[in-house]
Amino acid sequence: MATIAERLEHVHARIREACHAAGRPPQAVGLLAVSKTFDAHAVLAAAQAGQRAFGENYLQEGVDKIAAVRALAPQLADDLHWHCIGPIQSNKTRLVAEHFDWAHTIDRLKTAERLSAQRPPSLAPLNVCIQVNVDGGATKSGAAPQDALALAQAVARLPRLVLRGVMAIPDPVEGFEAQRALHARVRAVFDAIATSGAPGLAQFDTVSLGMTADLEAAVAAGSTLVRVGSGIFGARPTRAELAG
Ligand SMILES: *Cc1c(COP(=O)(O)O)cnc(C)c1O
């Protein structure tokens, strides 16, 4: 079985090739390692292989893991960045504000206002992305594309947040072209905000898009940050297996 370091190198090779195919420079696309359900030792293995940015979906699991990594390797922990990529309920905003460097899933102003108010003065402003729902109905999380610009303008005004970009989790579709077309809708929302002339967009540079199965299509459509879990850490245990 491949090691985490070997899988990480394979993902980097996929990103390089996808950039080449799309005529984009290889450094145009960053890699977020999605470590949900994997433990602090797995994070350290990836960190020792050079990975610096990690994504977590479940807030309490993420907070516990951040502390565990720090206890195991305090110096290395200083160099790591933690991204919240899961849904943020109103009563959980404090965990994100106090422990994470990024939050990707802002889809309403109220969440952003709470994060800004709760961000500790001792920490740098929290980097945030607007989550956009390009393919779902009203039940799927994310702002509707036509509402994203107004939300971005309001979020960009909050003092303790830095609006960095947009994020989406499109439903899986078959085939490169179909994936790319869906991803291109997310990139179009990013471009519309970036060129809107709204204040507070000096660091608006991130399109968080693409996972293990579809990162090539996301890179072709203009992703700047792919979120890869199983491609680095291996298959995740199912919920039933996790419950033991
Ligand atoms: C789990 C997850 C990922 C990674 O998925 P893989 O298919 O394992 O690469 C990326 N983004 C989000 C929001 C996730 O929940």
Q: What are the tens digits of pLDDT across the range 136-182?
A: 877 789 999 999 999 999 999 999 999 999 999 999 999 999 999 99
What is the distance in A from the centroid of ligand 1 to the CA of 216? 15
Q: What is the pLDDT of residue 53?
A: 98
Contact between 37 and 239 (Cβ < 8 Å): no
In sequence order, what are the residues at sequence separation of 6 or more whose Cβ sits closer than 8 angstroms to the Cβ of residue 158?
A: 112, 113, 115, 116
- What tens digit of pLDDT does each residue of 42-89 get? 999 999 999 999 999 999 999 999 999 999 999 999 999 999 999 999
Mean pLDDT, range 131-135, rounded to an integer: 96
Characterize 196-212 residue by residue with b for buried, 16 or more Cβ atoms within 10 angstroms of its Cβ, and e for exposed.
eebebbeebebbbbbbb
- For residue 228, give the ligand 1 atom closest to its CA: 9
Classify 4-243 by CATH class: alpha beta
- From ligand 1's centre to the CA of 54, what distance in Å? 11
| Residue 36 in contact with ligand 1 by CB distance below 6 A | yes
pLDDT at 28: 97
pLDDT higher than 70, residue 243: no
Number of H helices, E strands in the chain: 11, 8
Q: What angle do CA 157, 151, 155 make, to 5 degrees?
A: 25
Q: Which atom of ligand 1 is nearest to the CA of 86?
A: 13
Any ligand 1 atom below 6 A from CB of 221: no
Where is 218: in which H helix or E strand? helix 215-221
The phi and psi torsions of 31 (rounded to 5 degrees) equal: -125, 120
Alpha-carbon span 16 to 217, nearest angstrom: 13
Angstrom distance (rounded) from CA 22 to CA 218? 10
**Helix then strand then coil, % of the chain, to nearest 5:** 50, 15, 35
- Provide the whole-model pTM: 0.96
* C-alpha distances out from residue 99 to 66, 77, 106, 218, Å: 8, 13, 16, 28
CA distance 220 to 34: 21
CB atoms within 10 A of CB 148: 23
Question: What is d(CA 198, CA 203) in angstroms, rounded to the nearest whole number?
Answer: 12
Please report which confidence band the pLDDT of residue 239 belongs to, taking 50, 70 and 90 as the band edges: low
C-alpha angle 195-112-182 in degrees, rounded to nearest 5: 50
Distance 118 CA to ligand 1 centre (A): 27
Contact of 24 with 33, CB cutoff 8 Å: no
Instruction: Extract the tokens encoding 114.
Output: 């709470």
Instruction: Decide: 87 and 58 in contact? Cβ < 8 Å.
Output: no
Q: In this structure, which residue's CA is closest to atom 10 in ligand 1?
A: 227
For the chain, the domains span 4-243
Whole-number average pLDDT of the chain: 96
pLDDT at 137: 76
Neighbour count for residue 48 (Cβ, 10 Å): 12
